[in-house]
Amino acid sequence: MSSSLEFVTIFTLLVASYLLSVVHCGNFYDDVEIQWGGGHGKIFDNGKLLSLSLDKYSGSGFQSKSKYLFGRLDIQMKLVPGNSAGTVTTFYLSSDGPATDPNHDEIDFEFLGNLTGEPYTLHTNVFANGKGDKEMQFHLWFDPTKNFHTYSILWNPQHIIFLVDNIPIRDFKNHDSMGVPFPKTQPMRLYSSIWDAEEWATRGGLIKTDWSKAPFTAYYQNFNVDACVWYSTSGISSCASKNSMDSMASKNAWFFEEMDNASYRRMRWVQRKYMIYNYCSDVKRYPRGRPRECRLR
């Protein structure tokens, strides 16, 4: 009840001011910049392909030129093959400032490498108002190093949906009205990186990075953004325009997207078969009862 009331409020605000999103398709030169790594990150094929590498000296990373306040972001990735133990490849949205910022918001996909033939772990998390601790981890139903697969974040005022090859694997709902923070006021940028996390990534740090296999390289293509772009100078979003609500709804299905029963069933399938960790069922961690959002539907 209160959640739908809140939705109405957000909805009204948005209808009043934000009406058109910006769609960008797939040229890395236009949409991102290599942010760090001294030559370990590269864009090639006229902007169609990007690679990030890690060796003993450095990892690398890129970030989107724009910031977004809600959107659907898709990227295809091919992860480091062979012995990738100790490496972490990421794709995430983050608000400005350090992760220790009390208002920090973040939506994470992280791929933890593994020994040859052992499965990667896909780690997901959501930070809102500086609070994370909402980890869910999965194995994948395919080998993510053989081909490109699509990883997507759908972030609208009511849901954060994580998708793999268009199959939802996680739906973090807006339960703000029940006192569970949800990222919805700060614009975020997309970041991606590869770095060495041998201290914790593979079986809690037991398996170290094998530097004789470096450089470790992950590839990216077909970056697609359908989002409300934030203009920092004016503090407004590209979704501010005079189009009608119908146009918003028809052009921007992602903005109002909810999971239908079929998507919900597919998500349940993934969670039953491939989820290896869910903070909501970690009774050791929460002996005095599970976090509130875990008890809400």
Ligand X SMILES: *[C@@H]1O[C@H](CO)[C@@H](O)[C@H](O)[C@H]1NC(C)=O
Residues with a catalytic annotation lie at: 106, 110
Nearest distance in Å: CB 119, ligand X:
5
Structure tokens at 145: 């190093």
Among 26, 47, 81, 119, binds ligand X (CB under 6 A): 119
- Stretch binding ligand X (CB under 6 A), from 182-190, 196-204, 229-237, 240-248: 196-204
Report how many residues bind ligand X under the rule CB under 6 A: 11
Nearest distance in Å: CB 106, ligand X:
20
Give the residue with the Cβ less far from ligand X, 67 or 159. Answer: 159
Name residues whose C-beta falls within 8 Å of residue 202's C-beta, 6 or more positions apart in sequence. 85, 86, 112, 113, 114, 115
- Beta strands 121-127 and 106-112 are antiparallel
Among 39, 147, 261, 288, binds ligand X (CB under 6 A): 261
Contact between 81 and ligand X by CB under 6 A: the answer reads no
Any long-range contacts for 200-203 (C-beta under 8 Å, 24+ apart)?
A: 201/85, 201/86, 201/87, 201/88, 201/112, 201/113, 202/85, 202/86, 202/112, 202/113, 202/114, 202/115
Site for ligand X in 198-217 (CB under 6 A): 201-203
- Beta strands 159-164 and 167-173 are antiparallel
Among 21, 114, 125, 174, binds ligand X (CB under 6 A): 114
Residue of this chain nearest to ligand X (CB atom) = 118
Nearest distance in Å: CB 218, ligand X:
15
